[in-house]
Copies of this chain bind each other. A is one copy, B any other.
Amino acid sequence: MEFSSKLLENAVKEMSQLPGIGKRTALRLVLHLLKQPKEQTGFLSQALTTMREEVKFCLSCHNISDNTICEICSNKSRDHSVICIVEDIRDVMAIENTGQFRGVYHVLGGKISPIDGVGPSQLNIFSLVEKVKLGGVSEIIFALSSTMEGDTTNFYIYRQIQDSNVITSSIARGISVGDELEYADEVTLGRSILQRVPFESAFKNN
């Protein structure tokens, strides 16, 4: 692509570094900014820079936070003895949106994936094991995605904490609410039958 302006070329180059944004999309976005008032570009740049420079990660759960301890971890009305292990902060947001969980989280920051060069030491696993060893934790809920990497990570963590007196659980796998049975994959459908729940409890809390 030939650009008539170095400034434009540079803006498109930087924009297309973002995942899923190719050169053409980047050009469309940048030309959109050019048609908008200058303030909009200013606000965007400012918001990104400030966020990147000043955002903190909660010392306890590694969630993104404006303070050293995040709002969830510093909330005294939550049950700090139940810890839900998630991959990243998007999962925290998703679970928080359900309003069904009153415990706290532990954000791993990824999954063990030898192909991508991610080992246990790059994840926030050590601090979780320490937390469990220190006591005061009654249950660990594994809420990673059920892929090869997710299961590996779950199992790695499970082995580290299995000697402690902590209940370990996994989020339920089954047919999504509203889904047709005939379109469900075999593994999910099979599990949903094996791990069936008492009829009355199926309608609790929704």
Contact = CB atoms under 8 A, between A and B. Distances in A.
Interface of A: 1-8, 10-11, 13-15, 17-21, 25, 27-34, 38, 40-56, 58, 63-66, 70-72, 88-90, 92-93, 96-97
A35 to B, nearest CB: 9
A13 B70 CA distance: 21
Contacts of A66: 5-7
Which secondary structure dominates where chain A touches chain B? helix
Nearest to A107: B4
Which of A31, A45, A58 has its CB near the most chain B CB atoms (within 10 A)? Answer: A45
B4 A71 contact: yes
Closest 10 CB pairs of A and B: A45-B45, A41-B52, A11-B51, A14-B47, A14-B44, A7-B51, A11-B47, A45-B49, A10-B47, A5-B64
Contact of A15 (B34, B44, B72): B44
A4 B48 contact: no
